[in-house]
Amino acid sequence: MIEQICAFIHNFFVAKTYTGTFTISGGALTVDGLVVGQYIYIKGSRFNDGVCQYGVDELTDETFEGEVWDMRPPRAFVQLAGEIENWVTKYGDTVSGPYQSESFGGYTYSLKTGTNASGGQDSNAGSWQGVFRSQLNQWRKLA
């Protein structure tokens, strides 16, 4: 989920980029300067591209020419990413359906997913991107 959130806000919190030939052996990548548990982004790999936790996530063995980004997301961002993941787990199926409904006092109100209350299109209406947009904005970068 961290990768999707970072892509959405155009910010991978890159502190340093390592470029070269990397070998993943026994499910582990070794890069001097990285700390076990920190987030990294692997780019250029055939099997392991994307965000993972260094020394925690098991990777597929390979040798590749590419980049490894030393990511340093703030603790508050990582906590919010956990909240977003929980929200997606709880409401993801509802959001992915064609309609969103709300009931109160014997009245039910439904909107087609992707519309706002005035009937206009809102591509993030009801999605995690829309629900958490204001909280994520502090880390957003221009595309």
Tell me what pLDDT residue 118 has. Answer: 46
Could you tell me the residue range of the domain that residue 34 belongs to? 2-71
Tell me what pLDDT residue 110 has. Answer: 58
Calpha distance 117→3 (Å, rounded)? 30
Same domain, 87 and 38: no
- Residue 7 — very low, low, confident or very high, per pLDDT cuts 50/70/90? very high
Which tens digits make up the pLDDT trace of 56-71? 999 999 999 999 999 9
Same domain, 7 and 67: yes
Same domain, 57 and 103: no
Same domain, 11 and 55: yes
Which tens digits make up the pLDDT trace of 91-125? 887 766 555 666 666 676 656 555 444 444 555 66
Q: What is the pTM of this model?
A: 0.79
Residue where a domain terminates, one of 18, 39, 71: 71
Tell me what pLDDT residue 24 has. Answer: 98
Same domain, 92 and 133: yes
Same domain, 79 and 133: yes
Tell me what pLDDT residue 143 has. Answer: 81
Q: How many domains does the structure of the chain reveal?
A: 2
- The closest alpha carbon to 3, from 67, 11, 110, belongs to 11
Average pLDDT for the chain: 88
Residue where a domain terminates, one of 21, 54, 71: 71
Same domain, 106 and 66: no
